[in-house]
Structure 1
């Protein structure tokens, strides 16, 4: 049986690929089970994995929650299994990039929003279609979407259920940037390499600070940073020494 989520590691980057291309990577309980196993493993591998990239195989990121699965009656191994899996992904110690091309609808958008950064191809199509199917979010849409784009824009997406292009998503702040499809893979590679050249200690520590202080009043957030920041990393001295050595050679 073909795996539903593929993992490939390259130079500190772990790429997770949703792998139901014949079904437009529609999300099933079985797919979430495989995704969860990968995420739990990655959380234990901070020494060799500094960044995680989530993407879809074939024509799109994902068409969303598999409606056939819903109609037939799903049997997750525990209550709130899919939502908890998305939360585990969002809370990975490593930064997470979601790469979206083609469809990214409803449940797929909830999954994509677990990424710290979202990169879109111009072919990307985003929509929250819960209302079209008489559904209400249970995987995080009502919380993560307005935090990403603001309440008014989130309400527009939710109430109209209309589709937004990759460029529209970029304009509203849903994605960090949008690139032509022909440049998509190269842009992802450049971004990943750029991030991975930085201190993995700092990447994890900064992600933790953002997560722990989100929603706090400014004074409380500043106090948290001052008193609970991890400060200097174990690779600080080495990095500064390498920089000083490089500049001295250029002098």
Structure 2
């Protein structure tokens, strides 16, 4: 796997020959807490991988025993009163505007800003010791990367209120039960499982993977009637523009599958 040369190695970016881009928050001695330069570099890493045509799926993980323990509070004022309105240096904004699927490989703690980064992923794989914790209320910090709105839409408003207002941890077991994470595996298997999910995505039609992610995410922001209308609108536009040879390729593919034994689907 080829590694790009980061300036300080705190945000590592690797690209695999199979089309997976891996971002590693690499400050394990501080449980991967984020300084202002790291936040900027993280945003730039997502933007760079979004623009790299060789990358099909992005995985974000943390080095050591934490995914990300949030913003480094020793430099909190510099972070919160800095150029927070600059979307070019906002990693969650860059994640939300990324066309490509993003998989979060959550080993250990995902705290506050780390929790918000996890919520910006499309799929989450967690280790058995993972914990998601929202400490905004504990430290008197107002959320700005989406936690106050996204969590309730995933686990329900009652659970979200308790999690955020009491700063109670969500264990991996709870996260799986509540639909927050897709998979829970042994800590040593988190990145491997995330790569397996990424490879399954890469095996599919890449144009449709991008379109499908977009319609799911965009529709989730709407009520059901408007979301269904959005799907219809995009489907009609897609099929109106589909060349005849693509229909023929689909027919050949289906014919080929139907001629094979159906014991292993």
Q: What TM-score do you get using the length of structure 1 for normalisation?
A: 0.89
Instruction: Give the CA deviation at 1:248.
Output: 4.2
User: Which residue does the alignment assign to 2:58?
Assistant: 52
- Give me the whole-angstrom Cα distance separating, in 1, the residues matched to 2:189 and 2:105: 12
**Matching of residue 34 in structure 1 with residue 41 in structure 2:** yes
User: Number of paired residues?
Assistant: 250
Cα 1:53–1:165 change in 2 (3 A) is same
State the SS of the aligned residue for 1:138.
coil
Match of 2:21 among 9, 14, 19: 14
User: Which residue does the alignment assign to 1:201?
Assistant: 207
Cα 1:200–1:76 change in 2 (3 A) is farther
User: Which residue does the alignment assign to 2:154?
Assistant: 148
CA contact (8 A) 2:44 2:89 kept: no
Counterparts in 2 of 1:1-251, with a 5 A limit? 2-10=8-16, 11-45=18-52, 47-70=53-76, 76-77=82-83, 79=85, 84-229=90-235, 231=238, 238=249, 241-242=252-253, 244-245=255-256, 248=259
- Give me the whole-angstrom Cα distance separating, in 1, the residues matched to 2:125 and 2:170: 14
Cα 1:190–1:166 change in 2 (3 A) is same
CA contact (8 A) 1:32 1:82 kept: no
Instruction: Give the CA deviation at 1:245.
Output: 4.0
Structure 2 stretches lacking a partner, 5+ long: 1-6
Cα 1:16–1:236 change in 2 (3 A) is farther
Structure 1 stretches lacking a partner, 5+ long: none
State the SS of the aligned residue for 1:126.
strand
Instruction: Give the CA deviation at 1:119.
Output: 1.0
State the SS of the aligned residue for 1:119.
strand
Q: What TM-score do you get using the length of structure 2 for normalisation?
A: 0.84
- Give me the whole-angstrom Cα distance separating, in 1, the residues matched to 2:160 and 2:221: 17
- Give me the whole-angstrom Cα distance separating, in 1, the residues matched to 2:25 and 2:68: 8
1:164-200 per-position Cα deviation (integer Å, ceiling 9, x unaligned): 2111111112212211223323322221211111111
Instruction: Give the CA deviation at 1:246.
Output: 5.9
